[in-house]
Amino acid sequence: MKRDLPKYTSRKKGVIYWQRRGEPCTRMRNQDLTPEFWAEYALRLKGPERAPASQTFAGLIDSYRKSMRYAKLAPRTAKDYDKVLELILDRWGDLNPAKIERRHFISLRDANADAVRFANYCVQVGRVLMEHAIDVGWRADNPAKGVQQIKGDTDPREAWPSNLIEAYRATAEGRALLLFELCLGTGQRIGDVLKMRWSDIEGGGIHVKQGKTRKKLWIPLTASLQATLDAEERRSVFILTNSRATGPWSYRGAADAVMKVRRQIGAEKYDIHALRYAAASELAALGCDDDAIAAITGHTTRAMVAKYTAETRQKIRALDAQKRRK
């Protein structure tokens, strides 16, 4: 069989690695054979670059991207980190990381305060980058450590209300309906749902390995999801396959299909990720505690579970309180 990967690369459990004699085995940042993959491959062929003559953020970021700390990131997380790293490279590329101070990270955060979530992410990624500066001996302390994040509603999403869930089910067909039921029934992110295979289904549930956290879960199928899966034709190894049945359905194609139905039923306010909120909220309304909800959604902290279920639980507590007044 013809080898599909170039020299010095190999695929292990579906992940492409670079391994050349005398160099550590590291994960390729780009996992698809795209132009970005070949550009990365060409750089690796040239071999490790010499350390910069002077310590700069450009050199630090380059060093970090070659480190095991970066290699261990999930692909989705690495993409999110890269957005901040490119911002730092653009603003501070020629500056010496040893001279940077706490006030500089505060300024970077505040300069992006109109997007609270990204502003806080600047602090988080900056903290990681400066930890790497300590690792390579460029600093003895971390000036980003302790910088407070901006308080505010960083995620304005709300769980899908039951009337719009039923409206979507009554309107959607085919892949748009199957995607909806998978997201709602499993409580998973769309990126993980699009990777689901028929072979992942076993024993009345589905096996999931989350791309963001790498957590492995087995999630029982809801009656609605089971019925939708039973009615679906298996055209590919992927449950949600592309039009040619040669691979998974693309994120853009999936998002566009769902948006078309959302417009028809007046649900533009509620995106695909809000179905994850809806799943957690449904479980909370049924009396599930944080641990039970996390067993489905895969959340690693109680704070995140509380964030997804806060509105539903407030309503439950309010109803209980008002009943006591009668």
Residues 190, 300 share a domain: yes
- Residue 319 tokens, joined: 């109803």
* Residue matched to tokens 């310590």: 55
Q: H/E element holding 219?
A: strand 216-220
Residues 276, 174 share a domain: yes
Q: H/E element holding 63?
A: helix 57-65
Q: Considering the entire predicted model, what is its pTM?
A: 0.63
Domain boundary among 154, 177, 212: 154
Q: What pLDDT is recorded for position 47? A: 65
Q: What pLDDT is recorded for position 88? A: 93
What is the chain's length? 326
CA angle 277, 283, 284 (to 5 degrees): 85
Residues 170, 72 share a domain: no
Taking phi first (over 0 means left), then psi (-120 to 50 degrees means alpha), and beta for anything else, what does residue 131 get? alpha
Q: What pLDDT is recorded for position 52? A: 47
What CATH code is carried by the domain that includes residue 87?
Answer: 1.10.150.130
DSSP string computed for 233-285: ---SSBSSB-TTSSSBPPHHHHHHHHHHHHHHHT-TT--STHHHHHHHHHHHH
Residues 71, 30 share a domain: no
Contact between 166 and 180 under an 8 Å Cβ cutoff? The reply is no
Domain boundary among 105, 126, 154: 154
Q: Which amino acid is at 22?
A: G
Distance of CA 302 to the CA centre of its chain: 18
Q: Which amino acid is at 286?
A: L
Radius of gyration of the chain (CA): 23
What CATH code is carried by the domain that includes residue 211?
Answer: 1.10.443.10
DSSP secondary structure code for residue 197 in this structure: B
Q: H/E element holding 319?
A: helix 302-323
Residues 299, 254 share a domain: yes
CB atoms closer than 10 angstroms to residue 163: 10
Spatial neighbors of 132 by CB under 8 A, at least 6 apart, are: 60, 63, 64, 67, 69
Domain boundary among 98, 120, 154: 154
DSSP-assigned beta bridge partners for residue 201:
206
* Rounded Cα gap, residues 324 and 197, in angstroms: 49
Residues 143, 202 share a domain: no
Please give the residue range of the domain that contains residue 40. 1-48
- Residue 281 tokens, joined: 């909220």
Distance of CA 204 to the CA centre of its chain: 26
Q: What pLDDT is recorded for position 326? A: 67
Residues 23, 115 share a domain: no
Residues 144, 97 share a domain: yes
* Rounded Cα gap, residues 186 and 206, in angstroms: 8
The total domain count for the chain is 3
Q: What is the pLDDT along the chain (326 residues), one digit of tens a residue?
A: 446 888 889 888 888 888 887 676 778 878 888 888 888 888 778 765 444 446 899 999 999 999 988 988 888 788 899 999 999 999 898 899 998 999 999 999 998 888 888 899 999 999 999 999 999 889 899 999 999 988 865 556 789 999 999 999 999 999 999 999 999 999 999 999 999 999 999 999 999 999 888 889 999 999 999 999 999 999 999 999 999 999 999 988 999 999 999 999 999 999 999 999 999 999 999 999 999 999 999 988 887 888 888 888 888 888 888 888 86
Give burial (CB, 10 Å; 0-12/13-18/19+) of 187. buried
DSSP secondary structure code for residue 82 in this structure: H
Q: What pLDDT is recorded for position 315? A: 85
Residues 169, 313 share a domain: yes
Residues 194, 81 share a domain: no
Residues 140, 242 share a domain: no
DSSP secondary structure code for residue 172 in this structure: -
Q: Which amino acid is at 211?
A: G
Residues 58, 15 share a domain: no
Q: What pLDDT is recorded for position 311? A: 85
Q: What pLDDT is recorded for position 26? A: 78
Q: What pLDDT is recorded for position 51? A: 42
* Rounded Cα gap, residues 247 and 241, in angstroms: 6
